[in-house]
Amino acid sequence: MSPTPIRLAVALDGAGWHPSAWREPSARPTELFTPRYWADLVRTAERGLLDLVTIEDAIGIQSHRAAVPDRRTDEVRGRLDALLIASFVAPLTRRIGLVPTVTTTHTEPFTVSSALATLDHTSLGRAGWQVRVSTTATDAALLGRREVAPFRPADLANGLPPGVLELFAEAADVIEAVRRLWDSWEDDAEIRDVATRRFIDRDKVHRVDVTSPTFSVRGPAITPRPPQGQPVVSALAHRREPYELAARGADLVFVTPTPARGAADVLADVRDAEGDVGRAGEPLRVLADVVVLLDSPTETGAARLRRLDDRTGEPFTSDTTVFTGPAAELADLVAAWHELGYAGVRLRPAALPDDLDRIVDDLVPELQRRGLFRTSYEAPTLRGLLGLPTEVPSRYAAAAAGGAR
């Protein structure tokens, strides 16, 4: 196998990323809000030896066009909580990484920290977090705790509005607070010695004292340190500001190359952002997002896309590359991006379960034949699968040791 194997992720969202996917013959629209449906999808991905699945989520209900509420009834609306889905499937799987989406804008850092640390414990070290910033006034009104200034999507062409920039700055603070809370218990803080009646070493449980313009967190965490020390933090990024957010606080970033902005240019943008924020240590693992409609024995991906578009009444558009064709051609694209310096790809199945099945049964074997993808899981944790350091000491343990000297 290649010394730097390709990392493969799958992004799961409802019945698939095409708005008409729920009407496909193999779709399971009556089961979208059942645990069995999600368990089946994640176990299929694990059968294909994929590094991780991400599970989409948001504060507000879905709409046909991002950030533009609508009253359509011909598309999937509603979803289960991504973090709870991941928690449910954790004991039903063994090796695949589980990366739910959790928003920073309307969720307390302490709650995020505890929930994701718990997921890491229940999955035995396979948890991750896809950070999401909620930028709409509609989402803010659902919770009623703060106001977010409205803006039009067209306004983004001239840069992010000041209010949105503040939300991204807040997200960076949230990531830092969550990471500090994960470090607030040292690895050996739990003693559990019945004979001496000592369950915990209080000297190894630390305050974090994080403050920002919108919150403060004293700590320590309520949940002992996660098995990975630091679960994997990821973010989806389309432009400069989210690239910098990922460069400051994430381990993994999902990006969206398009014909207008090619894969090489996007990767260069990410590396520039790392330099501009002074990122030290491990570089970001960069995965390129691709919506996939793969050929099947009975229908080409292109023909299926046309059929799905006819149902919707308009051509499908995406924020990233849309691929239709055979698995061998998708393998060519993935390999070419890997040569550019991408760690791999995150595949968005246009229709579930069809495209996920084709990824596992056609694409994975093709990459394995080329020596570009694993034939068995080689690490028990998500950090290990992604080639990230698996020994991550608590920053507070290091500080305490330095003070002792």
Residues facing 128 on adjacent strands: 232
C-alpha 359/C-alpha 301 separation (Å) is 12
Q: Is 101 annotated as a binding residue?
A: yes
Instruction: Calculate the alpha carbon distances from 394 to 122, 206, 225 in Å.
Output: 20, 10, 9
C-alpha 256/C-alpha 345 separation (Å) is 10
DSSP secondary structure, 304-333, as one string: HHHHHHHHHTS----SSEEEEE-HHHHHHH
Q: Is 211 annotated as a binding residue?
A: no
- Give me 270's structure tokens: 């990410």
In sequence order, the 6+-apart residues with CB closer than 8 A to the CB of 10 are 45, 50, 52, 53, 54, 346, 347, 348, 349, 356, 359
Q: Using CB atoms within 10 A of its CB, is residue 190 exposed (0-12), middle (13-18) or buried (19+)?
A: middle
Q: Using CB atoms within 10 A of its CB, is residue 377 exposed (0-12), middle (13-18) or buried (19+)?
A: middle
Bind-site residues for FMN: 57, 101
